[in-house]
Amino acid sequence: MSKNFLTKHLRDINESYFVHMGHALGFARDSLIAFFCFFTHSILPFIFLTTGSSTTKKLLNRINFRTKLINLATTNEKHVAIVGFGMSGLIAFYNLVKNYPASSGKLVVRIFEKSPSLVKGTAYSTKNPNHLLNVLASRMGVVEEDVEHFFKWLCRKGYSYQKTDFVPRQIFGIYLEDILQSALKIAEEKNIFCEFRSKEISEITERGNYFWIDGDLHHSCILAVGPQLKDSKKSFWRNDLENYLSDEEIHILGCGLTAIDAVISLRDLKYSGKIFLHSRRGILSKPHKIFDSQEKVESPLSLEDSDLTLSQIFRKFVNACKKAPDWRLAFDAFRPHTQKFWMALNAEKKKRFLRHCFRLWNVHRHRCPESQFRVVEEMIKSGKLRIEKGRVTDKKLIDCTGFDYGFESELIKNLVKNNLVKFDEIHSGIIPQRENFYVTAGLNFGSLFEITAAPDISLHCKRIVDKIILSLHS
């Protein structure tokens, strides 16, 4: 009876036995694939969520990894991750989309940043118009081939600042946001896919020739998270100064640029009590002075001087400052050579410099606008502000000491554990240990030293992007 039914069925559908069997096997195959997909995307996640099984999690991650790997292998897409999106992350992104050649295949850029203040970071998110840049407007361009890009932008937007002005940092933050919009427009025109993920990355692992970040594979990774504040709970940038206005005294740790920002902020809030600045040396950041463009001196140190003892280097530099028409000219003349000179020093000299000379260097090298310095001077003369030399332990302090370049966040610890980076020889930054893994800006402090100003960051990011594009194109 079954045989008669099958014969009649084959006659009705006009198929031979073998053709019909092939269709049945195809249906079985498709059903198996459908079940596998359902099991992978529904049953496994459900089991993991309800049981927390680490084995299931590993299996799910492995399946996800294999799927992503097959997708990358079967397409001509190039995936780049940017972890951290302050100024250095933005500059890298801008250069990447601007210079990426379409002939290298479709580009996918994923950006990971936990902070809602994209691109501006801590310094340029300030709302206080009296928090000024400490670099002239004509030297703050973030486009590497055009150092006056920021000043030209100011002119286009109708601002009346001159080249020698120190512009409010909040305006520079607007400029950075404008750079982001320009980059996104370029990306759209070149069909570059950009994805922003608002989250903190705690681990990056190497999978073959790729970097596994937040469930996706990437050909290259740019780490642009920047250094952390030394004490984020007490930091000026994390504190609401209005909570201190009822105090008779306010004690600030540090005498540098951040401390001056804090003093300016308290003045703007009409604080009526006394302000104390505490630091080991008790030396306030020095003011800028505008010089004629023709007024220049030779660099106080040559690369060969790196072989001298640190004491000899210090004396030679100080003597050059004394002989110059103004000591600032000597510092500015050494500026283009600082990185190479630092790299030529051995580890012991670097450590001794950071231990004995760094604070003195900072207050002379990283100067404040003269208008801000005058405000601080007037407050000192009136008795509202005092500078205290030495250690302080028994006061409620607002921390204005800056960043910790040897910090160990969970991400950095995992990067070291996974052999993607290592700490530099003086433990004041990290060095990439894998091809196509790059570290920007302040994370290079220990190896490059002078890597905080916009022109330095722009040049460094441009070099990184050039290497990435070359590797993606090859």
pLDDT at 54 (0 to 100) = 62
Mean pLDDT calculated for residue range 352-367: 93
Q: Which residue has the higher pLDDT, 282 or 102?
A: 282
Alpha-carbon distances of 63 from 43, 89, 108, 224, rounded to whole Å? 13, 31, 22, 30
pLDDT at 32 (0 to 100) = 73
Domain 78-227+405-473 CATH assignment equals 3.50.50.60: yes
Indicate the pLDDT class of residue 291, thresholds 50, 70 and 90: confident
pLDDT at 43 (0 to 100) = 62
Amino acid in the structure at residue 191: N
pLDDT at 272 (0 to 100) = 92
Angle, vertex CA 39, rays to CA 37 and CA 40, nearest 5: 65
Read off the tokens for 408. Answer: 């160990």
pLDDT at 241 (0 to 100) = 87
Residue 379's contacts (CB-CB under 8 Å, 6 or more residues apart) are 263, 267, 275, 385
End-to-end, the C-alpha distance of the chain in Å comes to 67
Model confidence at 46: pLDDT above 70: no
pLDDT digits (tens, 9 = 90+) for 217-269: 999 999 999 777 666 667 888 788 888 899 999 999 999 999 999 999 999 99
Mean pLDDT calculated for residue range 103-116: 89
Domain range list for the chain: 2-74, 78-227+405-473, 236-403
pLDDT at 104 (0 to 100) = 78
Q: CA 419 to CA 319: how far, in whole Å?
A: 44
Strand blocks (E) in 367-435: 385-389, 397-399, 403-404, 421-423, 430-432
Q: CA 264 to CA 169: how far, in whole Å?
A: 14
Enclosing H/E stretch for 358: helix 358-365
Model confidence at 290: pLDDT above 90: no
pLDDT digits (tens, 9 = 90+) for 388-441: 988 777 778 888 887 766 567 889 999 999 999 999 999 988 999 999 999 998
Model confidence at 310: pLDDT above 60: yes
Other CB atoms within 10 Å distance of the CB of residue 171: 19
pLDDT at 64 (0 to 100) = 62
Angle, vertex CA 353, rays to CA 352 and CA 355, nearest 5: 65
